[in-house]
Amino acid sequence: MKTDIGPVNLALVHHPVLNKKGETIGSAVTNLDLHDIARAARTYGVHRYYVTTPFEDQQQLVREIVGHWQEGHGATYNPARKEALGIVRLAAALEIAIEELTAVYGRRPLLIGTSAQPQAKTLSFNELRSKAAAREPMLIIFGTAHGLAPEIMTIMDATLPPIQEKAGYNHLSVRSAASIILDRLLGD
């Protein structure tokens, strides 16, 4: 893995995101996204993985799942899972995650959006690695449901290119997309 990359953080946004009709909605947190993205993120040295949702019931679900693996039976049963879920942070909104990271790094992180559709301000993985090599902190932002709402995309400093389908099918789970993007950015 590359060791000269600046601090990388992830955010998984549950609101505002789009449904298949293009309407802005809030989506549900899933156990699989928490676990699988945390494990991939920890594997690639991501500093923090934010799960953002304004919905109190969904926040409570995140606290319960993470708590089980941090303090509950899961903490002793599976220490590797405990370590991975130790980087998970809960935020009511993306803006809160950005504020926290700005305080940590003393400057706002570079905001990098992801989408299954081509977007403006796209950087190649090589271009983003060059920025990261300059020790630029970054926050890579993923959307649930059918992707990030336009109001989130407008605050991005850049976006990554979409993962190109090879068989006429383009509907990856966000956890699969996150793993592919992490490997393309931080892998050998």
pLDDT of residue 54: 98
Residue 117, phi then psi, degrees to nearest 5: -110, 145
Q: How far apart are CA 29 and CA 90, in angstroms?
A: 11
CA distance 17 to 71: 31
Residues pairing with 51 in the sheet: 12, 90
Residues 6+ apart with CB under 8 A from 127: none
Q: Model confidence over 30-63: pLDDT tens digits?
A: 999 999 999 999 999 999 999 999 999 999 999 9
Task: Return mean pLDDT, the chain.
Answer: 94
Q: Distance between CA 62 and CA 53 in Å, rounded?
A: 10
pTM: 0.95
What pLDDT score does 169 carry? 83
Nearest to 182 by CA among 85, 82, 31, 39: 39
Sign of CA dihedral 37, 45, 90, 19: negative
**Element holding 143 (H helix, E strand):** strand 138-143
Question: Does the pLDDT value for residue 65 go beyond 80?
Answer: yes
Q: Which helix (H) or strand (E) holds 40?
A: helix 31-43
Q: Of 88, 111, 13, 1, whose CA–CA distance to 54 is shortest?
A: 13
Residue 183 has pLDDT above 50, yes or no: yes
Q: Domains in the chain, please, with CATH? A: 8-186 (3.40.1280.10)
